[in-house]
Amino acid sequence: MKIKNHKIKITLLLVIFIYWLFCLPSELFKVPTSTIVESSNGNMLGARIADDGQWRFPKMDSVPNRFEQSILLFEDEYFYSHLGFNPVAISKALWQNITTDKRRGGSTLTQQVIRLSRKNKSRNYAEKLVEIFQATRLEVRFSKKEILNFYASYAPFGGNVVGLETASWRYFGTPSSELGWGQAAALAVLPNAPSLIFPGKNEAIFKKKRDRLLLKLFQKEVINQTTYELALLERLPGKPLPLPEYAPHFTEKIRREHKGERVQTTIDFQLQKKANRIAKEHYYSLRQNQINNLSILILDVETRNVLGYVGNAPTTRENNNYVDIIDKSRSTGSVLKPFLYASLLDAGELLPNTLVADIPTVINGYSPKNFDNKYNGAVPASVALSRSLNIPAVRMLREYGLQRYYNKLKKLNLKSINKTPDHYGLALILGGAESSLWEVTNTYAGMASTLNFFNHSSSEYRNNEFVEPNYVFGLKNDLGKTDINPSVFDAGAIYHTLNALQEVNRPTGEENWSFFNNSQQIAWKTGTSFGFKDAWAVGVTPKYAIGIWVGNADGEGRPGLTGIQAAAPILFDILNELPFQEEWFATPYDELIEAEICAKSGQLANVNCDETTMDWIPKNGIRTASCSYHQKVFLDKSETYRVNSSCYSLTEMKQKNWFSLPPILEYYYTPLHPEYQPLPPFKNNCLQENEALLSFIYPKKNEEILLPKDFDETINEVIFKLAHRLPETIVYWYLDSEFIGATQTFHELSIAPKPGEYILSVMDQDGNELRQKVIIR
């Protein structure tokens, strides 16, 4: 019988032990926590409340010494010596509860952690026994520091404020590590009676408890006399303070992707504050023109870390202040043009300063226009880029190939451009596609990073340069493995592209930047979408990439909403706040080759080019054609007329190299370039061999003419235009062989034809003829 009873006891003890061993859940606290976002140096940028409506910060890593000393002296002086419960304290509490009407708790901090984890179940003696039982298990499973950390993280501090760190921010606006003794003592008192937090009430009781604890700290020689007296003067917590909100849209982005976590980010705290100030200042100015939204993104070129993030202006709810515009797709305007320029240089189909046509252009019914509605005739490709001329860009895209360019954009990780090339057409280069500030700024940063790495390595590339930006502190972007071949553009093409973008005219007040030693260099580009709905400014230095978008979130266009007027001033204000850098991008000689270049055409020089320069061009550029605009001409003795052997003595001819543009380019180029000399006319009686003297300006080949109507349905006249190398020549106009007029000097003719198909032909006084088919609707 005794043996049987003994076995029962052993079995019972074993059961109790097993229950004790597994009495705690694997995760002590399964509660939602707030999302906390910090800058790279630990400053709070913003926070979002937990899903259960509580401000409960994620579990603390450690408990600050001042709070630890205060809470131990107030709640559990023998915390580090007991095994989870204090028999003496429990006995005193039990005796008082039995013999008096007052209620006293004898729970240790360990027991209180158990009670918090059990969601504060009803307080009775049975529950108290469960707490004691589980408290002993908690002491075995966790260290004393960890238990204290649990208490500090999940104790209530009044209202919906849970945890020491939360309380510290909500009541004092500071992290718990920076609490003064008076503040720490006040918060140590609160979990015992969280109802003391009520503005205007209970302050005397609260202060008495806090001061009594401070006195105890002084008597125990934890603090000295001076500290004690200063701590008594510290204010009590009152109405909860608003939490910091330095990057609301960024905080919301973190909440979506890292819900309930404390995330230390790569944001530069001081730079973020400056960006906020700049955004606020410009918003107050822009809203006078009913422009209500803007966004700013700043990246570190080398690491691709996010340094500054302003998702929207401090505008009103009616103007969509909650919308984070940085990751929203908007019409790109002209900000994709540099990628086309770099593509052409990389492919060896263009040299940096090759003349490109800027003339009236119609391609399958599409007629692009420059922003100023003017034409330059011919302009260096780098200048066309820096001046953001639309017509040269469209013509270059047609030459390069829409599909090829689209493929390049996909390699640049521009994910928002997700429709087929045919959907966008040639308008792709002028804002026909949409992308986000996040993607575009990162692409510019990737180009700068490619060039930097090439120059600082053994002339190598990385195969993942256009990876997404990183914003989590401590994480490192994988920019890929090294390779001798570029992933998109070679360093030579990027170098010339960034140099061209450095020449973009700066906004008002920045025009004379180059005269000041403290002015930063930057390669940058503006963009303006059709209808003045989106204004962009994106720029890179060897260290930073800055992206600016300005507009209305609802898509409303406004006059003056252009890249240069609305976005560029913000970009340069941000640039002026960044650390000054004197160095510019180094020349990537290993991807360049020195070549003789025609000074006027920008093409490889030929024997007819009188003025040449030695320039470093992309290696593939050596495959481009030599100068097509210089030719050898023969002149009479006075150099007034061109001559040939059919009309002039060979011995008296003068040979000369001449820079000559095609007629239609010359027509627009000459008024802008007084130094340009058109080819002299041929001397009378000289045979002219296949020289193009005439070119239609309007209509262009295969262009359909739409007859314009007034409001009263009256059909207006159509104006035909012609370029002639010899303006003074008389030109005769015919429509289907019917004479319709003659012009001299200014070759423009107004007629009112009926709809139909015609043959338009012209003939000058010397018999030179030009004709083409026209369709009038």
- Burial status of residue 165 (CB atoms within 10 A of its CB: 0-12, 13-18, 19 or more): buried
Torsion 45-51-56-60 (CA) sign: negative
Pairing of strands 769-776, 704-705: parallel
- Which DSSP letter does residue 530 get? T
Half-sphere exposure (Cβ direction) of 265: Cα atoms closer than 13 Å: 32
Would you give the distance in Å from CA 550 to the centre of its chain? 12
Check residue 704 and give its pLDDT: 77
Structure tokens at 506: 């700066």
The answer to whether the beta carbons of residues 282 and 314 sit under 8 Å apart is: no
Half-sphere exposure (Cβ direction) of 456: Cα atoms closer than 13 Å: 10
Pairing of strands 55-56, 161-162: parallel
Check residue 91 and give its pLDDT: 60
Tell me the backbone φ, ψ of residue 759, rounded to 5 degrees.
-110, 115
Closest CA to 110 of 136, 72, 81, 90: 136
What is the Cα–Cα distance from 329 to 437, expressed in whole angstroms?
8
Gyration radius of the chain's alpha carbons:
39
For the chain (length 777 residues), average pLDDT per consecutive 10? 68 71 78 95 95 93 94 89 72 60 68 82 68 78 91 91 94 94 94 69 85 94 94 90 96 95 96 97 95 97 97 93 95 96 96 94 83 93 94 95 95 94 93 95 97 93 94 93 94 96 72 52 94 95 97 93 95 94 92 96 94 95 94 89 83 89 90 91 75 79 72 72 81 86 84 84 84 84
What is the Cα–Cα distance from 771 to 761, expressed in whole angstroms?
4
b or e along 512-542 (b: 16 or more beta carbons within 10 Å of the residue's beta carbon)? Answer: eeeeeeebbbbbbbbbbbeebbbbbbbbbbb
Half-sphere exposure (Cβ direction) of 603: Cα atoms closer than 13 Å: 18
- Which DSSP letter does residue 401 get? -
- Tell me, letter by letter, the H, E, C secondary structure of 681-730: CECCCCCCCCCCCEEEEECCCCCEECCCECCCCCECCEEEEEEECCCCCE
Please state whether 699 falls in left (phi above 0), alpha (psi between -120 and 50) or beta.
beta
User: What are the beta bridge partners of residue 533?
Assistant: none
